[in-house]
Amino acid sequence: MSNNADFLDSAAELAATIDPHLTSPNPRVGCVIVRNGKIIAEGVHEKFGGAHAEANTFRMLQDSNPRNLGFESNLEVYITLEPCDHFEGKKTPSCTDLLLRQKPKKIVVGALDPQFQGKNLERLQKAGINVEFQKNKKCEELNSFFEKYITQKLPYVTFKMAQSLDGKVVRDQDSYPQGYESKYISNEFSRQKVHEMRAQYSAVLTTTKTILADDPLLNCRINPPSLAKRELEGDLNPPDSHKRESFPLFPFGFAQGRQRGRKTSDPQIIVLGKKEDIPPSAKIFSIPHRKIHWFDSRDLREIFSQCAEKGIDSILTECGPTLAGELLTQQLVDQMDLFVAPEIFGRGMASFSRSIDLSDFSLNRQEHLEGDVWLRFLRKK
């Protein structure tokens, strides 16, 4: 029989199928309802302003099996995040109130909401419900953007870079192998990951220097796998089906969720430097209605604070060694994603413009991408 952690993991995996920009500035939340050791309903918060995960899950339970509602006292509810309660400006009803009405036998929560810090769990407990807070890594990692944005009023910043094995980010022109045409350092599998990341973040940050050197488009040129996978699979056969009774997943139009959120998967662009330095033919101008924010200032902390005021909760950097060095020295980076190609460039531009102490970071994941190695480091808490 599955245990608490298994069910919380299932709820977190569901929530992870939603790109953060769809719920932003709200958190991503998943919920599963369990009876007799099997999941009988599940739901996610699909988009900002839409029903919350708990409401969607109870609605699914009701719609799929109205006769069983008499057995409600038998239910266990697993939620990735502490349920919400009323506060000013809130668009949806309180999930804590919903749970108080439903009175399940047990509620297990995988992460606390920094806005409530466990208060709502106490309320549920006082009403006689068996409530467990079981800190869960997958649940916590769902909402790194939200956590920083809410607690520090700053966007979560990820520094991304492709480099050679000997730490170079730009190949020396004379060292190109004969017949070599690609301007890229990393391979197509690494670049696929970068497109997936662009779909997740509110904005990418670049500089006029990098635009002039590379003329990047900085958009998302893939159908993000979470959505694509589900659309292709059609029946959405989950890998852990032993944990579930059979029922259709996402009956409430999950696939349309994306369309109702940000219009495309393309992030907004933040450029450091002067707009007049960039020719109108640059590719970043080629996508109509795309938001581009220009900052001709050196105060990075102030720039990030202004970005947060514009509702940008997460930034992926796409810049060269000079700005990279500055961001890291000023401790403005929360996460580093390095794509390392198995090549020695010898001469070329080094990844960092200066010697940098990275001991505040620890390895979070590593993956081989058909030759390249993808390394993710997180700032230690």
Question: DSSP letters along 215-253, please?
Answer: ----S--S--HHHHHHHHHSS---TTGGGB-S--S-TTT
Nearest in space to 278 (alpha carbons), one of 349, 351, 216, 201: 216
Active-site residues, by number, are: 54
Q: Does 318 bind ligand NAP (CB under 6 A)?
A: yes
Among 34, 249, 323, 332, binds ligand NAP (CB under 6 A): 323
Q: Mark 336-375 with x for binding to ligand NAP (rule: CB under 6 A) and - for no binding.
A: -----------------x----------------------
- 25 cis-preceded (ω within 30 degrees of 0): yes
Q: Looking at 55, 154, 162, 312, which residue binds ligand NAP (CB under 6 A)?
A: 162
Q: Which of 132, 140, 166, 214 binds ligand NAP (CB under 6 A)?
A: 214
Which residue has the CB atom at the shortest distance from ligand NAP? 320
Helices within the chain (DSSP H only): 4-15, 20-23, 53-64, 95-102, 119-126, 137-141, 144-152, 188-200, 208-214, 225-233, 254-260, 300-309, 321-329
Q: Which residues contact 250 (CB under 8 A, 6 or more apart)?
A: 44, 230, 236
Q: Which stretch binds ligand NAP (CB under 6 A): 55-63, 93-101, 136-144, 158-166?
A: 158-166
Q: How many CA atoms lie within 13 A of 314 on its CB side?
A: 26
Q: Which of 185, 197, 227, 271 binds ligand NAP (CB under 6 A)?
A: 185
Query: How near is the Cβ of 172 to ligand NAP at its closest, in Å?
Result: 11
Question: 207 vs 265, which CB is nearer to ligand NAP?
Answer: 207
Q: How far apart are CA 287 and CA 285, in angstroms?
A: 6
Indicate whether 319 belongs to the interface with ligand NAP (CB under 6 A). Answer: yes
Task: By CB under 6 A, name the one of 11, 55, 161, 307 that touches ligand NAP.
Answer: 161
Can residue 94 be called a binding residue for ligand NAP (CB under 6 A)? no
Q: What letter represents residue 233's amino acid?
A: E
Q: What is the CA radius of gyration of the chain?
A: 23
Tokens of 179: 């017949």
Choices 24-32, 162-170, 280-288, 354-362 (CB under 6 A): range interacting with ligand NAP:
162-170
What are the two backbone dihedrals, phi and then psi, of residue 380, each rounded to the nearest 5 degrees? Answer: -65, 145
Residues 202 and 268: beta-carbon distance below 8 Å: yes
Q: Compose the 248-277 pattern: x for residues touching ligand NAP by CB under 6 A, - for all others.
A: ------------------------xx----
When asked if residue 102 is in the footprint of ligand NAP (CB under 6 A), the reply is no
Provide the binding-site residues for ligand NAP, judged by CB under 6 A.
161-163, 169-170, 185, 207, 209-210, 213-214, 272-273, 298, 300, 318-323, 326, 353
